[in-house]
Amino acid sequence: MLLVDGRGTPLAAELASASQGEVNLIEPLLDNRTSRRCPKRLLYDRAADSDPLRKRLAMRRIELVCPHRKNRTRPKTQDGRKLRRYKRRWKVERSISWLFNCRRLVVRYEYWNHVFAGFLQLACVFTILKRF
């Protein structure tokens, strides 16, 4: 999981097993951010379409902007105006591709998580240094 700002600069990275749901990993990622400010909005894909997550983020004063799942049975919680911001999600995908310039992250050679997390943080630092 990767948290970036509006310009694509990495703010936080979190490792977890593949068996956990992404909805459960968003809040620990927000807790591990490097900036003091809490984001106003969080852009995410359809995997985060969860009403309990929206309520928990609303308690933190964070607006979740993500499209609804196609099989959603409950009434929609947002209209198309808020989803216009979703067009800017390409900045997140661009940041992930910057991290994938490090081959060691694409092909996971490390057995231990702490070694892989170290290389992930190092790649984030190099990405930040290239931007400034």
The boundaries of the domain holding residue 25 are 2-131
pTM value surpassing 0.85: no
Cα 92–48–122 angle (5° rounding)?
40
Nearest to 3 by CA among 29, 38, 24: 29
What CATH number did the domain enclosing 30 receive? 3.30.420
In what helix (H) or strand (E) does residue 125 lie, and over which residues does it extend?
A: helix 113-131
Render each residue's pLDDT in the chain as its tens digit; 132 residues: 888 888 888 888 888 877 778 888 888 888 888 878 888 888 888 887 888 888 999 999 998 888 877 877 777 777 677 777 778 888 888 888 888 888 888 888 888 888 988 999 999 888 888 877
Question: Do the beta carbons of residue 17 and residue 41 sit within 8 Å?
Answer: no
Number of domains the chain contains: 1
Q: What is the DSSP string of 19-64?
A: TS-HHHHHHHHHHT-SSSSPPSEEE--GGG--HHHHHHHHHTT-EE
Predicted confidence at residue 61, as pLDDT, reads 93
Nearest to 39 by CA among 88, 80, 6, 9: 6
